[in-house]
Amino acid sequence: MKFNDLFGGLVFLALSGLVATASWSLPNPSQQPLGPSAFPLILSGLLALCAAILAVTGARATEDGPLIGLADWARSGSALARLLLVPAAVIFYMLFAETFGFLICAPLILIVLFLAGGTRPLHAIGLSLAAALVIHSIFYLALGVQLPWGPLEPLRW
Amino acid sequence: MFDAYVTALGMVLDPYVLFVITASAIYGLVVGCIPGLSATMATALLVPLTFFMPPVPAIAAIVTTSTMAIFSGDIPGCLLRIPGTPASAAYVDDSYQMTLKGKPELALGIGLWFSVLGGLFGTAVMMVASPAIADFALGFGSVEFFWIVMLGLGGAVFIGSSTPLKACISLLIGLLIAMVGMNNPAGQPRFTMDSTEMLGGVSLIPMMVGMFACSEVMRHMVSDGSAPHAVVKKIGPIFASMWRLTKQYPWQLIRGSALGTVIGIQPGSGADMAAWMSYAMSKRFSKEPEKFGTGHPEGLIEAGASNNSSLAGAWIPALVFGIPGDSITAIAIGVLMMKNMAPGPTIFVNNPQNVYAVFLVFVIANLLMLPLGWAIIKVATRVLSVPRRVLMPIILLFAIVGSYAINNSLFDVGVMLAFGVLAFVLEENDFPVAPVILGVVLGPLLEEYFINSMIKSDGRLIGLVDRPIAAVLAAITIGIIGWTIIASLRSGKPSKQPAQG
């Protein structure tokens, strides 16, 4: 998604406001002259200044254009769907890795992403299993990372 | 110093370290060779693995991977006219023209041979200059370091970027992210949203993996992803003409290496700027400037040497002051900090053997580039044909597991995703990503130096400039920032590439 500089400037202006508000309320237990709020306040001030310049230049350049534009790829439903598969795959892993284990979740994620990219189904299945086993070996066997096993726990090697 | 070098040599010649160097070299060469996979992404993906290594092999892996990837970015530039890394873009016309004339081995040979010579030149300068600068910097106090960090950040934003205003906003976002957690002079939880996971701040490794790998996968998903085909199938002898060219163009080699090293030392200007400036300089001083862009070796030699020498140059401020010159050295500083090798002048006093080991790794990596670079060139057409639609899902899985591996925490996987999305949105709108990383890495230091300086001067701002070196550094920093702002105002727009609506 592309937004123009006016919209971007307003978003960052709002962000600087949020940071400034959150910084004001920070306690200063040791009563130092510059407490934990000092530096974030300076940064939020600088961000507000930059955001305002961006918004002003964006407003001059935009005239009657839309605040939020779409990049060429965003007009294609399939490209948008492929893009959303990335966060969906990561969220799927976060939600189900503990329950189903790495060796079930990882190949599933890979198969879906391979198929979305146009890989043939048999290749996708073979590649997914091979890649998941190699990555599992690198992290579990070589580095000792405790990847979740899920229902495959009895098979743990 | 000699004893420390002997100790360092023993550390580097350890079979495990040599294995890590060789494996990272092959990895860096392969990843750098594939268009769309950058040297920075190669380095970021490696960081989770370095977490499990002792300090010397961990740093060796980073140094070797980045060195190899910068060279191997020349390969797709030469064979496909698609530079593998931005550092190869300056001379892609010349190298591709050589390929079209049926001489890909000449272009690739120049890329390999002069990268090695340039890299060794930069390493030699680093070995001589770093300890001397560190010795000088031992007298610095918090005020000088505050300005050194400011100079690094100012340089990164205002020299290295074509969109200074947007780079400045990126940097401020990075600095604000660095404020999260309890790592502040008061030890007070800040912006943690009552999450215990956030008390330690944003985890650097998942963040870097997300910004450089996850966002790259997302970008691939919205492209068509088809692999381009090379125009050549066979590559002849690579080193045949190299000695002749070295004797024919010695000044170009020396000038490119020297300029590359100097540009590398400057914060904010990395291998790509070194290559562009050296190519322009080569053309400016050439007796045959009309031949540039038509498959002429002169510019290739100068810029090829320059981009690799700048890598070593960028490590000088990184090691001496902890100031990263580019995103790769920012990642490297993150790894150094993780390994309790916080960079700064005292590292040359407390752990000289570790620093000298880094120097020796640079020498080994550059020498190893000759045989391994030859091998990757020989199989390049096959590597280039690996489809990205197969690689990208595997990279995403690697990014997920790599982020999880650091703390066995799914929260970190979420951090990786969040920063991947952030980097994707920022880059879609022409905001550079590297300043965010610089901000996160340097934010805590900047705050600490600023607060300490202010406490020493009883809160008076004059305390920031009342020491001679601090005043000079302040003048340089303000000069860089002021000059960029004036140049922007004169051109009538603060950012040269405004986002499209």
- What confidence tens digit (pLDDT) does each residue in B80-106 have? 888 777 778 888 888 889 988 888 889
- What confidence tens digit (pLDDT) does each residue in B296-305 have? 999 999 999 9
What is the spatial distance between Cα B501 and Cα A66, in angstroms, rounded to a whole number? 6
Please, what is the angle between helix B410-428 and helix B388-407, to 10°?
130
Q: What average pLDDT does range B323-343 have in this prediction?
A: 82
DSSP code string of A81-150 = HHHHHHHHHHHHHHHHHHHH-HHHHHHHHHHHHHHHHT--HHHHHHHHHHHHHHHHIIIIIIS------G
- Name the minimum distance, in Å, from the CA of A140 to any CA of chain B: 9
Percent of chain B with pLDDT over 70: 95
Token pair for residue B270?
């990395």
> Which pLDDT belongs to residue B177?
95
Q: What is the DSSP letter of B197?
A: G
At residue B160 the predicted structure's pLDDT band, cuts being 50, 70 and 90, is low
Chain A positions in Cβ-Cβ contact with residue B396 (cut-off 8 Å):
86, 89-90, 109, 113
Name which of B176, B413, B425 is nearest A94 (Cβ-Cβ). B413
Q: Does the beta-carbon distance from B455 to A71 stay under 8 Å?
A: no
pLDDT at B493 over 70: no
Mean pLDDT for chain B overall: 87
In the three-class reduction of DSSP (H, G, I as helix; E, B as strand; rest coil), residue B181 is classed as: strand
CB B420 within 8 A of CB B213: yes
Chain A positions in Cβ-Cβ contact with residue B447 (cut-off 8 Å):
39
Of residues B8, B93, B223, B33, the one with CA closest to residue A76: B223
Name which of B169, B390, B400 is nearest A119 (Cβ-Cβ). B390
Chain A positions in Cβ-Cβ contact with residue B460 (cut-off 8 Å):
none
Q: Does the beta-carbon distance from B186 to A85 stay under 8 Å?
A: no
Name which of A53, A74, A117 is nearest B165 (Cβ-Cβ). A53
What does residue B445 show for φ and ψ, rounded to 5 degrees? -65, -45
Q: Determine the residue of chain B that is closest to A129 in CA distance.
A: B394
Lowest mean pLDDT: which of A76-90, B310-324, B440-454, B477-491?
A: B477-491
Q: What average pLDDT does range B427-453 have in this prediction?
A: 89
Q: What average pLDDT does range B329-358 have in this prediction?
A: 85
Backbone region of residue B140 per phi and psi (left: phi > 0; alpha: psi in -120 to 50; beta: other values): beta
CB B484 within 8 A of CB B164: yes
What is the spatial distance between Cα A42 and Cα A39, in angstroms, rounded to a whole number? 5
pLDDT at B233 over 80: no
pLDDT at B223 over 70: yes
Q: Does the beta-carbon distance from A109 to B397 stay under 8 Å?
A: yes
Name which of A5, A83, A131 is nearest B499 (Cβ-Cβ). A5
> Which pLDDT belongs to residue A124?
95
> Which pLDDT belongs to residue B362?
93
Name the more confident of A32 and B403.
B403
Q: Does the beta-carbon distance from A114 to B404 stay under 8 Å?
A: no
> Which pLDDT belongs to residue A55?
93
> Which pLDDT belongs to residue B33?
87
What is the spatial distance between Cα B119 and Cα B256, in angstroms, rounded to a whole number? 11
> Which pLDDT belongs to residue B492?
58
Q: Does the beta-carbon distance from B191 to A146 stay under 8 Å?
A: no
Q: What average pLDDT does range B5-9 have in this prediction?
A: 90
Selected residue of A5, A56, A137 to mutate for chain B interface (largest B Cβ count, 10 A): A5
Name the more confident of B205 and B247.
B247
DSSP code string of B435-455 = HHHHHHHHHHHHHHHHHHHHH
In the three-class reduction of DSSP (H, G, I as helix; E, B as strand; rest coil), residue A64 is classed as: coil
> Which pLDDT belongs to residue B498?
36
Q: What average pLDDT does range B346-364 have in this prediction?
A: 89
- What confidence tens digit (pLDDT) does each residue in B11-68 have? 999 999 999 999 999 999 998 888 777 788 889 889 999 988 998 999 999 999 988 9
At residue B228 the predicted structure's pLDDT band, cuts being 50, 70 and 90, is low
> Which pLDDT belongs to residue B108?
92
A69 strand-pairing partners: A2
Considering the entire predicted model, what is its pTM? Answer: 0.86
CA angle, corner B291, sides to B285 and B292, nearest 5? Answer: 65
> Which pLDDT belongs to residue A143?
84
CB contacts < 8 A (A, B): 190
Q: Does the beta-carbon distance from B397 to A106 stay under 8 Å?
A: yes
What is the spatial distance between Cα A113 and Cα A125, in angstroms, rounded to a whole number? 11
Chain A positions in Cβ-Cβ contact with residue B498 (cut-off 8 Å):
4-5, 57-58, 61
What is the spatial distance between Cα B242 and Cα B184, in angstroms, rounded to a whole number? 54
Residue located via tokens 């120097």: B359
- Name the minimum distance, in Å, from the CA of B218 to any CA of chain A: 6
> Which pLDDT belongs to residue B500?
32
> Which pLDDT belongs to residue B124?
95
Name the more confident of B422 and B455.
B422
Q: What average pLDDT does range B466-473 have in this prediction?
A: 90
Q: Does the beta-carbon distance from B410 to A94 stay under 8 Å?
A: yes
Of residues B373, B317, B318, B297, the one with CA closest to residue B70: B373
Q: Does the beta-carbon distance from A19 to B176 stay under 8 Å?
A: yes
Q: Does the beta-carbon distance from B186 to A38 stay under 8 Å?
A: no
Sites in chain A below the pLDDT cut of 50: none
Chain A positions in Cβ-Cβ contact with residue B47 (cut-off 8 Å):
none
